Structures are given as structure tokens and as C-alpha cells.
Amino acid sequence: MPVAEWTVDAYETETGEKPALGFLRSLAGRDLVDALALLKELREKGSALRRPHSGSLDDGLFELRGKQVRVFYIFLPGRVALLLDGEIKQRNDIPTATMRRMRKLQKEVERRHRKRQSPRR
């Protein structure tokens, strides 16, 4: 029996921007090929995707890992992987400012999700 693929979606800001899609659209050549292959793996394997293609950054934040491409994402209920944003690696570790921004986006998504789940009064 075939396993259902995961839905890969992109975080949208209050103003309608999708940072991850903007990042992906900015890629070309090897970086674009890498990113598309990683997204295909994520769609097929979801939470079962592991290193070297995916890494946990703890507390529910993950990164897709290409040769130079990093795409940050979280999981939502219903087999959804939500892309937050991405960057071209400049060094092996993730810059502190990038991690702070990804955590902020993650918290925003979680806040919106809780708001949608809470019963209306």
C-alpha cells in the first residue's frame, strides 16, 4: 500500500509575503537543483527524512541541508511540512541572527495555529 506524500507549504507573513518562496526563486544552477531535490525528498519522506538531507535544530525546527543551501521548516498536523525561509551557507554553523529569526517565525506559526484551534466564545 503506497504511503501518502507530505504536503510542503510555505509560511506566509501578515502582509502576504512567503520568505521561503522568495529564497527559492532567487536560486539558480546547482543551488536550485539541490533545493528542488531536497523538497522532493521532504514531500516523499516527511518526518522520516534524516541526515545528510535533514537535520533537527531542536524544539520542532528542522533544516534541509544541501551542499550550500539551507531551508528551514517545521511540521504541522496533517502531514504538512511548512517552509519558513532559507539561506546560502556561509559557514558550517547557523548564524545566531538566522536562528533567532527562524525561532520567531516558528513561534508566530505556532501562535496562529493555537488561535485557529481554540474554541470560539
Which amino acid belongs to residue 64? Answer: L
Q: What is the DSSP string of 28-64?
A: -HHHHHHHHHHHHHHHHHGGG--TTTEEE-STT-EEE
Which amino acid belongs to residue 75? Answer: F
Pairing of strands 62-65, 54-56: antiparallel
pLDDT at position 120 is 58
Contact residues for 51 (Cβ-Cβ < 8 A; gap 6+) = 65
Domain boundaries, the chain: 7-117
Full-model pTM:
0.92
Where the chain has pLDDT below 50, the residues are: none
- Among 3.30.2310.20, 1.10.287.610, 3.40.50.1100, 3.30.460.80, name the CATH number for the domain at 7-117: 3.30.2310.20
